[in-house]
Amino acid sequence: MEQYIGTTERWLLTPVVLMFLALIIYFLLRKIGWKVRAATGFALISPWLIGFIIFTAFPLIYSLYLSFTNYSLFGTPKWIGLKNYIYIFTSDYEFWPSVRLTLLYAVFTVPIGVIGSLLIAMLLNNRIKGIGVFRTIYYLPAVMPDVAVALIWRWLFNSQSGLINYALSPFLKLFHIGKIDWFGDPKYVLWAFIIMSVWGIFGTNTVVFLAGLQGVPRSLYEVADLDGASPWIKFWNITIPQISPVILLQVVMGIISALQIFTVAMFVRPTTGAGIFMNQLIYNRGFTQLHMGQASAIAWVLFLIILAFTLLVFKSTPAWVHYEGEIKR
């Protein structure tokens, strides 16, 4: 019992302290002549702001600093300039294979994810009986824990008794290939992960697309029907442009999550022959080999890669993303 008192105390104390802080901020802002509305607003978001600074902004900036240091988790970080970056770019035997594997994974899985979930969303957008049940079923993957899913995939990929090799066996026999060792043979590791990524089509992505589809005005389709447009024309000229902002969102989020693949890979633990994903490399470097500086440097390279891809996608938006009320130049 005694051990819970401390926790309960802190649990009760935290909101009180936060409220106190919010009040101080309010009075301070009022003192320096802010309007009531602005001061109230800032005071009210201050708990979140403080949390953001302590738990996100500070570690972020600190990791940038650490990437220029030699740091083993113990003792004080030692400034070594660009040495970590030079090391990972020139003599790190694990870095480039992991960049390659991670990028290849993203290149394949992002289009599969976006196109796949759009197709599923279109199916779920039909007005048929019991569509609510279907929508619920297709959302289920989103509430399944990643590790449980990874375990199921491991069974499916089992080379002797797994369903995937069983389903593929006619093709494998045709090409005289033995049973595929998905996680043991470096040739197949990437493909196994790409197949597993299909799972990500369902769940949240589909729901977001479904919401987008529901937002397309019916009048547009009715007009097209009057003109005798084919379903393909309607899809290509009405649906796609109308939901293009949603596609943009999905592509950007897809790139970010694909490049950050971690949980499943850590749980399945395939052969390292094909390299390991960048997040795994960061984890190993930091917590097993105790090179936090190198780990931070790799993390920042990963961040820059993600940023570059995201900017690239945003740069391309004028060509294909249509916003409501926007005038084409």
Q: What are the residues binding another protein (CB under 8 A)?
A: 6, 9-10, 12-13, 16-17, 19-20, 23, 72-75, 93-94, 158-161, 179, 181, 183-186, 271-273, 284, 287-291
> Smallest gap, in angstroms, from Cβ of residue 180 to another protein?
9
Other CB atoms within a 10 A radius of the CB of residue 284 amount to 18
CB of 288 to another protein, least distance (A): 5
Sign of CA dihedral 63, 65, 70, 74: negative
User: What's the min distance (Å) between Cβ of 171 and another protein?
Assistant: 18
- Toward another protein, which CB reaches closer, 31 or 329? 31
Which tokens in the block code for residue 256?
A: 């970010």
CB 38 → another protein: shortest distance, Å? 20
Question: Which of residues 93 and 175 has its CB atom nearest to another protein in the complex?
Answer: 93
The residue type of 190 is L
Q: How far is the CB of 244 from another protein (least distance, A)?
A: 42
Residue with smaller CB distance to another protein, 10 or 173: 10
**Residue 157 vs 309, nearer CB to another protein:** 157
* Residue 21 CB, nearest approach to another protein (Å): 11
Say how far apart CA 303 and CA 198 lie, in whole Å: 24
Closer CB to another protein, 9 or 225, in the complex:
9
Nearest residue (CB) to another protein, 250 versus 284: 284
Fill in the amino acid letter for 229: A
Q: Give the span between the Cα atoms of 324 and 200, in whole angstroms.
A: 29
Q: What are the residue ranges of helices labelled H in 67-145?
A: 83-90, 95-124, 131-143
Query: Shortest distance, CB of residue 49 to another protein, whole angstroms?
Result: 20
78, β-bridge pairs: 70
Cα–Cα distance for residue pair 128/74, rounded to 1 Å: 61
For CA atoms 41, 47, 53, 56, give the dihedral sign.
Answer: negative
d(CA 252, CA 307): 10
CB closer to another protein, 66 vs 321: 66
Q: Which residues pair with 79 in a beta bridge?
A: 69
Please give the Cα distance from 100 to 311 (Å, whole number). 20
CB 270, CB 288: distance < 8 Å: no
